[in-house]
Amino acid sequence: MPRFEANPPRRPTVVTGASSGIGAATARRLAEAGHPVVLGARRSDVCTQIAAGIRDEGGAAAAFHLDLADPASITAFAKEAEEAFGPIEVLVSNAARIQPGGALETAPEDFEEVLRVNVGGAHRLVRAFGAGMVARRRGDLVFVTSDVVAHPRPRMSAYVASKWGLEGFVTALQMELEGTGVRAIVVRPGPTLTGMGMDWDPEVTADVLAEWTRWGLARHPAFLRPDGVALAIAHAMAAPRGTHLSVIEVQPEAPLHETAGYETAGHGRTGHGRKGANP
Ligand SMILES: NC(=O)c1ccc[n+]([C@@H]2O[C@H](COP(=O)([O-])OP(=O)(O)OC[C@H]3O[C@@H](n4cnc5c(N)ncnc54)[C@H](OP(=O)(O)O)[C@@H]3O)[C@@H](O)[C@H]2O)c1
């Protein structure tokens, strides 16, 4: 049985959706760890600024335009990424679209667009970078999904369908890649304070949040910081050969109760020791 060779210390890495939130935090964290990073998103000007900031800090970074809804853009991006830093050792497939709206009111075109970007885009990225990894017998394909897979939420039916589809795809991919040396990894964040959903109409947001609370889907009001998810991604790809962190769920830690102790922490009959609790 062949032994695993250690991963190189500098692993050229692609991060999609790097113009904002979790993707930007991931690019910064991986660059700090010494990996050359290629940032991709539609707002390539923002990616270019973030890449310049990384270089100012001593890291290696390049930025290129990427629109996951456009196959030609993905092909061009993959070529530019490998020209910048050589064979890509790690793909962080993080970019996603979210569309507020229940099943009945979502236009089929909008529904299909979400699937096209969130699932079809991930598949095209795997085709662009996966074959080289298999040939080199090493590589990491990291997919940022969502805890909607574990706890689906109403009023975002296209997004939920896309994230279930993505995790189904990755699960099949993990089986197909078994024994190739390429690890497919799911990182599944809970609520995170990013740009996602910030462009929604505030009334729509209020309605959606009220409905989530009604369904018991908001245990407490805390959000993750994007770097909390970046940390999980960095950790998964830093695992030594022979170890495969196949699924990692990351949740915000609940705010501390006002008083210490288990009994006052809502487990006893005296009720909760915190403010603003959701059902
Ligand atoms: N925030 C949360 O609460 C949360 C919870 C669970 C999972 N997630 C997941 O975390 C990942 C990152 O999201 P985020 O929270 O960091 O949100 P965000 O700040 O809105 O970032 C989303 C990123 O996706 C990019 N993107 C969207 N459509 C694209 C397209 N067609 N082609 C290329 N890039 C595209 C955006 O860049 P451009 O607009 O510049 O293209 C942006 O960089 C997503 O997969 C999301 O589903 C987020």
From atom 11 of ligand 1, which residue's Cα is the shortest distance away? 94
* Distance (Å) of CA 204 to CA 89, 101, 197, 223, 255: 41, 9, 10, 19, 26
* Nearest atom (ligand 1) to Cα of 193: 1
Which residues partner with 101 through β-bridges? 156
CB of 19 shorter than 6 A to ligand 1: yes
Point out the residues that are catalytic: 159
Say yes or no to pLDDT of 190 above 90: yes
Q: Would you say residue 149 lies in a domain?
A: yes
Q: Would you say residue 277 lies in a domain?
A: no
Q: Would you say residue 270 lies in a domain?
A: no
Half-sphere exposure of 185 (CA within 13 A, CB side): 27
Question: pLDDT tens digits for 225-266?
Answer: 999 999 999 999 999 999 999 999 999 999 998 888 776 555
CB of 195 shorter than 6 A to ligand 1: yes
Please answer whether residues 81 and 92 qualify as being in contact, where contact means their C-beta atoms are separated by less than 8 angstroms. no
Say yes or no to pLDDT of 276 above 50: no
Say yes or no to pLDDT of 152 above 50: yes
Say yes or no to pLDDT of 112 above 90: yes
From atom 25 of ligand 1, which residue's Cα is the shortest distance away? 17
Please tell me the predicted confidence (pLDDT) of residue 264. Answer: 55
Residue 32 lies in domain: 13-265
From atom 43 of ligand 1, which residue's Cα is the shortest distance away? 17
Q: Which range, of 28-42, 151-165, 257-271, averages the lowest pLDDT?
A: 257-271
Q: Would you say residue 4 lies in a domain?
A: no
How far, in Å, from the CA of 263 to the mean position of ligand 1? 40
From atom 1 of ligand 1, which residue's Cα is the shortest distance away? 192
Once rounded to an integer, what is the mean pLDDT over residues 100-104?
Answer: 91
Integer Cα distance of 18 and 66 in angstroms: 10
The rounded percent of the chain whose pLDDT value lies above 70 is 94
Q: Would you say residue 188 lies in a domain?
A: yes
Say yes or no to pLDDT of 66 above 60: yes
Structure tokens at 117: 């970007």
Say yes or no to pLDDT of 137 above 90: yes
- What pLDDT band is residue 201 in, cutting at 50, 70 and 90? confident
Say yes or no to pLDDT of 110 above 60: yes
Integer Cα distance of 163 and 5 in angstroms: 33
Please classify residue 261 by burial: count the beta carbons closer than 10 Å to its beta carbon, then call 0-12 exposed, 13-18 middle and 19+ buried.
Answer: exposed
How far, in Å, from the CA of 76 to the mean position of ligand 1? 20
Q: Would you say residue 240 lies in a domain?
A: yes
Q: Would you say residue 68 lies in a domain?
A: yes
How far, in Å, from the CA of 202 to the mean position of ligand 1? 19
Among residues 160, 158, 223, 219, the alpha carbon closest in space to that of 190 is found at 223
Structure tokens at 67: 């629109």
Q: Counting runs of H as helices and runs of E as strands, what totals does the chain give? A: 8, 7
Number of domains into which the chain is organized: 1
Once rounded to an integer, what is the mean pLDDT over residues 9-24?
Answer: 98
The rounded percent of the chain whose pLDDT value lies above 90 is 79
| Residue reference for tokens 């896309």 | 162
Mean of the per-residue pLDDT values for the chain? 92
What CATH number does the domain containing 179 carry? 3.40.50.720
Beta strand spans in 95-252 (E): 139-144, 182-189, 247-250
Q: Note the pTM of the prediction, 2 decimals.
A: 0.94
How far, in Å, from the CA of 270 to the mean position of ligand 1? 41
CB of 189 shorter than 6 A to ligand 1: yes
Q: Would you say residue 60 lies in a domain?
A: yes
Which residues partner with 37 through β-bridges? 13, 61
Integer Cα distance of 23 and 42 in angstroms: 13
Phi first, then psi: what are they for 250, rounded to 5°? -120, 125
